[in-house]
Chain A
Amino acid sequence: MNEMFGVLSLRNFMNRPDGWGRSEGREVYNRLLDFVEGNPGTIVFKVSLEGVRRLDMSFASETLVELARRYRRTKGFCLIDLADKDIAENIDAAAERKDQPLLIWEGKSARVIGANLSEGTREAFQFAMGRPECRAAEFATQKGISIANASMKFKQLWNEGFLLRRESVADSGGVEFVYQRIG
């Protein structure tokens, strides 16, 4: 597994192709948790939905959404191989309830489910999604806004679970944050 990115196949953690109900979800959640804890170097988990036939909102809430919420700001979880509209809708409903954003990747494009971007952070998010990682100063330069203003937007996106970040050393020698898209 790549140090930073890993693929997690949800079906491998399920007893059968359908995910139904909270109690079944909690069982699967514990298995997912063991897997994540067993891969401490992995920062972004691409969760593949391949082979999952059905999945209700309660199951999604106890598994994918709970996992993303638990690790918010430290690890990221995004969804891949998710062509089924019904499953996407159910994950969206569960994520919305917990105000937890999740990205669904289709090829090179992604869409957010589960939470809405505020008007003030939308452009910063789109900027971050256009590259694997970025600094607030880069966005500030492009938009002609202050670095403090840009930093505030990125911090909010990180805080709300839309982005990840890591510390880096700035040219000035101080600490700056490098923001990373999830996926």
Chain B
Amino acid sequence: MLVEITRINKDVRDDELPTRLSDAVEKACASRADVKELGGAVWTIFAELIQNIFDHSDTQLDGYAALQVYQGGNKVSVAVSDSGRGIMDTLRPALRTEFPKLADLSDTEVLVEVFRQGVSRHGTDRGCGLKGCAAKAIKFAATLDVRLPNQRVLLVPAKGIYELNIAHCYEGLPLLWGTHIGFAFGMGA
């Protein structure tokens, strides 16, 4: 089993970090026929999620990127976490003007749309990052886990998409500030 946990210092971006992490996945899963595609997906997910810490978290506290490859390379988990402004905290104020149809939805419903259609506080021509991450992860039947301050939303792909009706919500959890997003690639035995 391979486990990597890396601190993300907001003052100095380590330009090679997504490459080191995706290289580690490719090495651990070298026997898979789709290893290049897997490496590309992992690189893109880390690149987009880590960059979001720099662009949106608005905190001086360090963030973390974590990677776990299970024995045999049949399961890969990637996660990026920060203790800054949560994803809903940054998105909610902009919904009324940028995505009015989403403004009255619940947090879980908005989250599904963030990964399904792409939503950004900067307008409709932005927001391709998280949507693109989801599209890559879905190819590997990855579950998507997002921790909100008091809630956890677990999305399971069906028919190539994350849907609201198969979102598992866990309410009343201990308070945890920040943005925490994880993908678990289940790649068959």
Measuring CB to CB, which residues of chain A are less than 8 angstroms from any residue of chain B?
16, 18, 20-23, 53-54, 56-58, 61, 84-87, 89-90, 93-94, 96-98
Contact = CB atoms under 8 A, between A and B. Distances in A.
A106 B127 CA distance: 29
B178 interface: no
B121 interface: no
Contacts of B129: 56-58
Interface residues of B, number: 24
Q: Which of B41, B44, B48, B51 has the most CB of A within 10 A?
A: B44
Given A58-B128, A90-B44, A97 B118 contact: yes
B43 A93 contact: no
B55 interface: yes
Given A56-B47, A57-B44, A97-B127, A90 B19 contact: no
15 contacts: A20-B18, A21-B47, A21-B54, A22-B51, A54-B40, A56-B48, A57-B129, A58-B51, A61-B126, A86-B36, A90-B132, A93-B132, A93-B135, A97-B125, A97-B126
Instruction: State the main secondary structure of chain A at its contact with B.
Output: helix
Contacts of A89: 132, 135-136
Nearest to B45: A56
Contact of A18 (B15, B126, B131, B135): B15
B89 interface: no
Contacts of A22: 51, 55
A94 B55 CA distance: 18
A93 B47 contact: no
B27 to A, nearest CB: 16
Give the 8 A-B residue pairs with the shortest CB-CB distance, closest first: A86-B40, A97-B128, A21-B51, A93-B132, A56-B47, A57-B132, A57-B128, A98-B125
B37 interface: yes
A145 to B, nearest CB: 35
